[in-house]
Amino acid sequence: MTQNPFTNRPSASLQARGKTADGDAVCDAESRAASDGTKVIVIGNEKGGSGKTTAAMHLIVALMKSGFKTGAMDLDLRQKSLTRYLFNRQKWAEKQGTGVKDLPFPVFIPVEASEDDSRARSREIETERFAETMGRFADCDYLIIDCPGANTHLSRLAHAHADVIVTPMNDSFVDFDLLAKLDPASGDILGPSLYAEMVWEARQKRAMSGVMGGIDWVVLRNRIGAANAKNKKRVGDKLKDLSDRIGFRLAHGFGERVIYRELFPMGLTLLDLGQGGVPRKLSSMTHITARQEIRAFLLTLKLGKSTKKTDQQTQAA
Ligand SMILES: Nc1ncnc2c1ncn2[C@@H]1O[C@H](COP(=O)(O)OP(=O)(O)O)[C@@H](O)[C@H]1O
Ligand SMILES: [Mg+2]
């Protein structure tokens, strides 16, 4: 059994006859097999406002523009920001008469939370809904799942089914605190925090499910500012230390840029600028640098080649 890297002992929750701490949020090999060949990328962090939805939307558009058939699932059932982002994109395209060639749209299937009074029954219902929805993305090359900034049953399910977990975090020690605790006096890493534990559990669940391959975890620094170079370096150094210890890869981060906030109402991303029907162009060095940052992030993910045909390709054939 894999050891917890911080305590060097097996997880107590997993010692209990192979059961997981939360009982039922396991990686279901059957629903993974149903979507065999679909690479599942989960965007998660228990911190709200760290850039999950922004990263998810840019990833979705980048994949579609590379010719991949891409699915999108929004598990932030309270805020539904990815759903709103995609809705805005659709409305924008309709208003401008822009076709899917210029403004591609992913396969989007909503998931509803259970309102059952019984917690156990509610989890059962959500587990069924999640498995059924996963199956409906079976013809996609990629499925991007945007998670809430909270530890919900659906979010744990998504993490346990991930091939890749992408964790955007603000470039600060407040966000770092969700990955690991630091000794206030020495600055040494003391142990894992909430979100690192959640990823670790997800890795265990996946290993126990018999699904081939592990979970690749990528941490993405977001909103990196030009100012406060000292803090930037300290956060960077600590993240490097931690990445070896708990097994994540560090992606090239995104800078702090107003453009990310401006594009949401139109449902656009930096990758759409300059396309037909999109009024804004890549107008400044800032936009070009931002686009390079996104490309660097995509390179870190080591995305493969498309094995499935997009609807456009099927129609053209
Ligand atoms: N690199 C960035 N620069 C500036 N604003 C950003 C950046 N990344 C995200 N934002 C903004 O921060 C807010 C929170 O981002 P969001 O992606 O919704 O986070 P989350 O999904 O983790 O809650 C949004 O208004 C978004 O436009
Ligand atoms: Mg969000």
Q: How far is the CA of 80 from the centre of ligand 2 (A)?
A: 7
- Token pair, residue 152, equals 């919900």
Q: Model confidence over 196-206: pLDDT tens digits? A: 999 999 999 98
153 ligand 1 Cβ < 6 A = no
DSSP strand pairing (39-43 vs 142-146): parallel
Nearest to 4 by CA among 201, 208, 190: 201
Taking the CA of residue 290 as reference, the ligand 1 atom at the shortest distance is: 1
- Token pair, residue 173, equals 């020690």
Q: How far is the CA of 3 from the centre of ligand 2 (A)?
A: 32
Q: Model confidence over 9-26: pLDDT tens digits? A: 333 333 332 334 444 567
Q: Model confidence over 46-77: pLDDT tens digits? A: 999 999 999 999 999 999 999 999 999 999 99
Q: How far is the CA of 269 from the centre of ligand 2 (A)?
A: 15
- Token pair, residue 255, equals 């800078």
Prediction pTM value: 0.88
| Protein residue with its CA nearest to atom 25 in ligand 1 | 261
In Å, what is the CA distance from 134 to each residue of 94, 110, 233, 310? 28, 11, 40, 18
Instruction: Name the residue type at position 106.
Output: P
Q: Model confidence over 73-96: pLDDT tens digits? A: 999 999 999 999 999 999 999 998
Q: How far is the CA of 57 from the centre of ligand 1 (A)?
A: 11
Q: Model confidence over 174-233: pLDDT tens digits? A: 999 999 999 988 889 998 999 999 999 999 998 888 887 899 999 999 998 877 788 888
The architecture (CATH level 2) of 25-316 comes to 3-Layer(aba) Sandwich (3.40)
260 ligand 1 Cβ < 6 A = yes
